[in-house]
Structure 1
Amino acid sequence: MHRIQHKRGCLSLEAVCCSSRAMKPWVLISIFVVSYVCYLLLGALVISIIEKPYEESLRSKLQKLKADFLDVNSCVNESKLETFLQEVLNANKYGVSVLRDAANDTNWDFATAFFFASTLVTTVGYGYTTPLSDSGKAFCIFFAMIGVPFTMLVLTVTAQRLMAIVTYKPIDYFQIQRGYSRRCVTKVHFVILLLLMLALFFLIPAAIFSIIEDSWTYLDAFYFCFISLCTIGLGDYVPGEQYQQKLRPLYKICVTFYLLIGLVNMLLILQTFHKAADLHGLTDLVLMPHHEDEDEGDHERILDTSSFQKPVESMETEVQKQLNSASHTGYSSINR
């Protein structure tokens, strides 16, 4: 009974894949583009409905504080106060604060600079700390130009090497040694790997961040982990920026390595999902269909070994056999 249901499921999946292949390319692209735009519009609508009331409430609160300050301090010129506030806000964009609790903190000690360099080349880019000088901005351009592709190469190569240990070996073991179906093993393996990733790089680190950072709730910490490891990096939550942070340099370096290791594991999850989707035929639903009537000359591989029907060793062996057979002539081959 289970085999019949499994065959029916496979047949239905193959039917969907065949229908997607039969669909014209421009129709498939149009569906994806329209769906993507609708998804963006839906996200914009929801976030606008949620956040707009909070923004208006905060703006009215600040305006009230400003009006109360001017009422109490009638000698203060409002235009000068506006200029002062503008300068403070501009400095805050660069991570520089005039508050007494944060006046002595620097954003450019070695540990913080190391953290900034890692967020720059990993494209996380919180934006909380940015270079002030023109020479610093020019160096960031040069540093990122080389560092971003180099970082992507290192992360991708590391993730691929880990797949041989974390993905291929367990799947091959349960398929060959235990006799389980490869499709079933890949499903269970991906779920287990996803749960481990969720626990080791989201749930546990979020609990640690919520303990270290006094002003962060657990939701704030989990939000920071997700935004960082997805390389979104909004910059509204940055670790190690509170006043008199204990062991701040060590804390910054630890967060840097957490981001690098977490990004490797995110790539590992994505590549594992891609392999599992290929095995189950899910990629055929979204990839463009292959047209067999296309000119093969336009899509010829750089190193196409299919044209060589036999290896060099086998060709040499065959020639040697022919020479040997020719040198030992039998009686039947003699012309009479």
Structure 2
Amino acid sequence: MRGWAVVALAGLGFAGYLLLGALVLSAVERPYESRLRAELRALKAAFLRESPCLPEAALERFLGAVLRAHRHGAALLRNGTTDGAPSNWDFASAFFFASTLVTTVGYGYTTPLSDAGKAFCIFYALLGVPFTMLMLTATVQRLVATFTSGPLEYLAQRWGYNRRALSCGHLFLLAVGVLVAFFLVPAAIFSTLEESWSFLDAFYFCFISLCTIGLGDYVPGEQPGQRLRPLYKVSVAVYLLLGLMAMLLLLQTFHKMADLHGLSDLILLPRDPPCEDRQDHQRILEEHDSSSEPGQMEKVPVQPMAGTQANYSSINR
């Protein structure tokens, strides 16, 4: 019952967190949306006044067609002309789209137009998403053993440092390293390469991408006249893969620290005992049942098993 009570409290906290987010976003974004709608209505009215021969219904149809095409990544405005505009489905752009598909980032800026492309994406993601997750997980497990468990166990055993204090310090240093290497530095690079992006816009793009949220309001390499656009697109795809590995490494390290401090036991169910322990327990029960008299079994003092103390490398959730 205690576990269910904790889960219920966590669920109430999660619901409250969602309500808080909805209230804040509604209060911040709704006035900005209203101003933007008013500006668009004023621009449309001014355009119709300057073009009295253009029916409003024809303008509405034209704008609707442009917006529908833009949602699929086919933009009409490319420095005033569509001549020479880069394709959204050249090899570099398709490689970038495939990487966002299998990593579940999915910006939604470029989407398949044909039925054949949509059907292929279904089967491609059906195989690609599990394989990508498996590859990232296997890589991160080896990174944890190399950069987390190994160094901390060495410091704890060789120098006698406290494992809990070491885990907190290591998590802090790792978080700072990930923040600098995959957020601050890339945000500075993106804000330099993308003329219309501020540093906050670039940092926002990095965060939304590496958290696999992928809203699609900011997509790199889509401005007109982008230099070395194919190389830029492929480089961003590589950045996404490396960044996801770094985020998984940080998440795994946090989980291990939570296990070491006993925080996971507050919500998660206890793990099943190893197979050997279950077999030993079953064998003891069978021996107990086969005894004819209770006194025939000798009482053997239970000796603590060596190495049963939880350490950083033995935890594997």
Structure 2 counterparts to residues 50-65 of structure 1, below 5 A: 50-65=28-43
Query: Contact (CA 8 Å) 1:202, 1:225: kept in 2 or not?
Result: yes
Q: Which residue of 2 aligns with 1:32?
A: 10
Q: What is the rounded CA distance, in whole Å, between the counterparts of 1:168 and 1:268 in structure 2? A: 12
Q: What is the rounded CA distance, in whole Å, between the counterparts of 2:273 and 2:155 in structure 1? A: 37
Q: Which residue of 2 aligns with 1:4?
A: none
> Is it true that 1:78 corresponds to 2:56 in the alignment?
yes
Secondary structure in 2 aligned to 1:209? helix
Structure 1 unaligned blocks of 5 or more: 1-22, 291-298, 310-336
Seq. identity, %: 58
Q: Which residue of 2 aligns with 1:237?
A: 218
Q: What is the rounded CA distance, in whole Å, between the counterparts of 1:219 and 1:96 in structure 2? A: 27
Whichever residue aligns with residue 36 of structure 1, its letter is F
Q: Which residue of 2 aligns with 1:160?
A: 141
Q: What is the rounded CA distance, in whole Å, between the counterparts of 1:125 and 1:300 in structure 2? A: 39
Structure 2 counterparts to residues 158-237 of structure 1, below 5 A: 158-237=139-218
Deviation, structure 1 residue 306: 4.8
Q: Which residue of 2 aligns with 1:334?
A: none
Q: Which residue of 2 aligns with 1:91?
A: 69
> Is it true that 1:45 corresponds to 2:23 in the alignment?
yes
Structure 2 counterparts to residues 123-138 of structure 1, below 5 A: 123-138=104-119
Query: Contact (CA 8 Å) 1:95, 1:107: kept in 2 or not?
Result: yes
Secondary structure in 1 aligned to 2:131? helix
Encode CA deviations 1:34-56: one digit per residue, 9 max, x unaligned.
11111111100100000000000
Deviation, structure 1 residue 224: 0.2
CA RMSD of the aligned region, Å?
1.7
Q: Pick the aligned partner of 1:110 from 66, 70, 91.
A: 91
Count of residues paired in the alignment: 278
**What TM-score, normalized by structure 2, do the two folds share?**
0.84
Secondary structure in 1 aligned to 2:217? coil
Secondary structure in 1 aligned to 2:111? coil
Query: Contact (CA 8 Å) 2:6, 2:266: kept in 1 or not?
Result: no
Q: Which residue of 2 aligns with 1:255?
A: 236
Q: Which moved more, 1:100-109 or 1:114-123?
A: 100-109
Q: 1:308 to 1:288 in 2, by over 3 A?
A: closer
Q: Rg: which structure is higher?
A: 1
Deviation, structure 1 residue 308: 5.5
Secondary structure in 1 aligned to 2:227? coil
Q: 1:164 to 1:221 in 2, by over 3 A?
A: same
Whichever residue aligns with residue 16 of structure 2, its letter is C
Query: Contact (CA 8 Å) 2:221, 2:233: kept in 1 or not?
Result: yes
Q: Which residue of 1 aligns with 2:279?
A: 307
Deviation, structure 1 residue 98: 1.2
Structure 2 unaligned blocks of 5 or more: 282-317
Query: Contact (CA 8 Å) 1:25, 1:289: kept in 2 or not?
Result: no
Query: Contact (CA 8 Å) 2:96, 2:234: kept in 1 or not?
Result: yes
> Is it true that 1:69 corresponds to 2:41 in the alignment?
no
Deviation, structure 1 residue 289: 6.2
Q: What is the rounded CA distance, in whole Å, between the counterparts of 1:29 and 1:183 in structure 2? A: 25
Q: Which moved more, 1:165-174 or 1:112-121?
A: 165-174
Query: Contact (CA 8 Å) 1:128, 1:235: kept in 2 or not?
Result: yes
4+ long deviations beyond 6 Å: none
